[in-house]
Amino acid sequence: MSTETLQDLRAQQLAQLAAKAEVALVWTEAGQPVASPCINVCRMTEDRSHCQGCFRTIDDIRAWSKADSELRLQIWGRLLQRAGLDDPRTH
């Protein structure tokens, strides 16, 4: 793949993650579970610091299924920072 194609793909993935964050963090009704940030691009970075798709760490991914809403919101906040995306709750 060319560098331009990879950059386009990465931009699409970030846009997908940003859209998912908007739904999970702004539009989810009270009492509903906080939606997963997974965008089905399940590959760890070369340094294994986080997933290339959702920007969660291995520990975040492991904790997700048992995490309460508060912890899930914290995970969302950290992964958005890693991804360099704005938190939609601040707009």
pLDDT per residue as tens digits for the range 45-64: 999 999 999 999 999 999 99
Give the span between the Cα atoms of 83 and 56, in whole angstroms.
9
Furthest CA-CA distance within the chain: 45
- Average pLDDT value for the chain: 94
The whole-number pLDDT of residue 91 equals: 78
Which letter does DSSP use for residue 88 in this model? G
